């Protein structure tokens, strides 16, 4: 059976306590005990501070550090300078407008995205949830024009081959697959970039092939990345053509067999500014109250 997480493999078991509690600051409220997902922080008698369980599991989720009301608790693998107080200065209305204002952008200006900006986006993407906090999603960033164009050429070749094979097999020329492939090939042959849209940067996310949740880890990290980008005026589009099927990108990027490519996003400054929100169908929901 495939082992899917550090929890299953036991890799997360700790021989030594990872959590330190300053008894002078601890008020024995028990919140760290309550929130620890693998129940590795144990309550003690009376006002004695809790302690990390012998051979406890630790996901490195940081919930204990985050929840402590007095700042008494620290995690030995989490540097204090990387832990910031949360000041919820946003309103639901602001967040809603922010989310509704994001569009998939397919026309980019020539302005490159600065390395520091890309680094910030990846830093935030790495904060996204992941199964058992394994953080199993890795990124490859393409900013080299020739590399992006080469990837695009590989994707186009795949579509051209598919197109020709379908026609040769005698399918109806109006078959839906041919209908979406044909315009891509026509645009490409006319000198356009129908896959990566001329974006100055492309971010690819991949995870271990043996992780059943790898696709989700990649998808949600890329969502964080795209939303952070949107907040900074950098826009994006998920380029499904470039990772479905994933083998083309996998091969082009030179990923090892250990990994699977799950997401590819084009990033850049937008050529056009979207000024209004759009309408979507209402959520399709079944309520079972
Ligand atoms: C694909 C995926 C599956 C998850 N499955 C579970 C789960 O079954 N039970 C659970 O308690 N948390 C689950 N989580 C939450 C993770 O454990 C959590 O994201 C991780 O520990 C990091 O904590 P954070 O989200 O608070 O930053 C899952 C997260 C992801 C992305
Ligand atoms: S980091 Fe998470 S798993 Fe580890 S002790 Fe703290 S709450 Fe528990
Ligand atoms: S959350 Fe902080 S104050 Fe409360 S018991 Fe844990 S260490 Fe002590």
Q: How far is the CA of 41 from the centre of ligand 2 (A)?
A: 8
Res 131: pLDDT: 97
Q: Which ligand is nearest to the CA of 65?
A: 2
Maximum Cα interatomic distance, the chain, rounded to a whole number of Å: 79
State the total domains in the chain: 2
Q: How far is the CA of 25 from the centre of ligand 3 (A)?
A: 8
103 and 210 in a single domain? The answer is yes
109 and 249 in a single domain? The answer is yes
Q: How far is the CA of 240 from the centre of ligand 2 (A)?
A: 36
Res 4: pLDDT: 43
Atom 1, ligand 3: residue with shortest CA distance: 68
Q: How far is the CA of 183 from the centre of ligand 3 (A)?
A: 61
Q: Which of 82, 109, 132 is the last residue of a domain?
A: 82
24 and 64 in a single domain? The answer is yes
177 and 272 in a single domain? The answer is yes
75 and 101 in a single domain? The answer is no
14 and 106 in a single domain? The answer is no
Is the sign of the CA dihedral 106, 109, 115, 119 positive or negative?
A: negative
Q: Phi, psi at residue 158, to the nearest 5°?
A: -60, -45
Cα angle vertex 158, ends 153, 163, to 5°?
Answer: 120
Burial 159-170 (b: 16+ CB within 10 A, else e): beeebeebeeee
Evaluate whether 242 touches 248 at the Cβ level (below 8 Å).
Answer: yes
78 and 156 in a single domain? The answer is no
Residue 1 lies in a domain: no
Residue 285 lies in a domain: yes
143 and 268 in a single domain? The answer is yes
DSSP state of 57: B
Res 176: pLDDT: 85
Is the sign of the CA dihedral 232, 128, 238, 257 positive or negative?
A: positive
Total H helices, total E strands in the chain: 9, 8
78 and 108 in a single domain? The answer is no
Pocket test for ligand 3, best of 50, 53, 63, 67 (most atoms within 8 A of CB): 50
Residue 61 lies in a domain: yes
Residue 36 lies in a domain: yes
Output the CA–CA distances (angstroms, integers) from residue 188 to 180, 227, 240, 282, in the order listed: 13, 29, 17, 36
Res 2: pLDDT: 41
Residue 57 lies in a domain: yes
78 and 113 in a single domain? The answer is no
Residue 204 lies in a domain: yes
181 and 271 in a single domain? The answer is yes
Is residue 21 in contact with ligand 2, taking CB distance under 6 Å?
no
Res 8: pLDDT: 52
Q: At 173, which CATH number?
A: 3.40.109.10
Find the domain containing 18 and state its range.
Answer: 6-82
Cα angle vertex 216, ends 57, 114, to 5°?
Answer: 105
Torsion (CA) 159, 162, 168, 169 in degrees, nearest 10: -150
From first to last of its 289 residues, the chain has per-residue pLDDT tens of 344 445 455 555 666 789 999 999 999 999 999 999 999 999 999 999 999 998 889 999 999 999 999 999 999 999 999 999 999 999 999 999 999 999 999 999 999 999 999 999 999 999 999 999 999 999 999 999 999 999 999 999 999 999 999 989 998 888 888 898 999 999 999 999 999 999 999 999 999 999 999 999 999 999 999 999 999 999 999 999 999 999 999 999 999 999 999 999 999 999 999 999 999 999 999 999 9
The ligand 1 atom at the shortest distance from the C-alpha of residue 220 is 31
Looking at this predicted complex, what is its ipTM?
0.95
111 and 158 in a single domain? The answer is yes
Q: How far is the CA of 129 from the centre of ligand 1 (A)?
A: 6
Q: Is 51 exposed, middle or buried (0-12, 13-18, 19+ CB in 10 A)?
A: middle
């Amino acid at each position: 059976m495939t082992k899917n997480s550090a929890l299953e493999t036991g890799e997360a078991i700790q021989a030594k306590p990872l959590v330190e509690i300053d008894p002078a600051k601890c008020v024995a409220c028990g919140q760290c005990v309550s929130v620890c997902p693998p129940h590795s922080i144990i309550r003690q008698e009376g006002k004695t501070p809790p302690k990390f369980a012998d051979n406890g599991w630790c996901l490195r989720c940081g919930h204990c550090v985050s929840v402590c009301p007095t700042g008494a608790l620290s995690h030995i693998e989490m540097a204090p300078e990387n832990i910031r107080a949360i000041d919820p200065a946003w309103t639901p209305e602001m967040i809603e407008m922010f989310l509704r204002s994001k569009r998939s952008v397919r026309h980019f200006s020539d302005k490159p995205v600065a390395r520091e900006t890309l680094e910030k986006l990846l830093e935030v993407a790495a904060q996204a949830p992941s199964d058992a906090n394994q953080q199993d999603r890795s990124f490859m960033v393409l900013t080299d024009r020739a590399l992006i164009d080469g990837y695009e050429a590989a994707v186009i070749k795949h579509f051209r081959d598919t197109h020709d094979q379908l026609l040769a097999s005698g399918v109806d020329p109006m078959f839906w697959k041919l209908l979406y492939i044909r315009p891509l090939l026509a645009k490409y042959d006319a000198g356009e970039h129908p896959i990566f849209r001329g974006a100055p940067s492309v971010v690819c996310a991949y995870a271990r092939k043996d992780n059943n949740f790898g696709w989700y880890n990649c998808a949600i990290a890329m969502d964080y990345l795209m939303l952070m980008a949107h907040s900074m005026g950098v826009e994006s589009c998920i380029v499904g053509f470039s990772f479905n099927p994933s083998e083309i990108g996998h091969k082009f990027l030179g990923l090892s067999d250990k990994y699977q490519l799950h997401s590819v996003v084009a990033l850049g400054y937008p050529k056009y500014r979207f000024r209004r929100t759009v309408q979507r169908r209402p959520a399709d929901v079944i309520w079972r109250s």
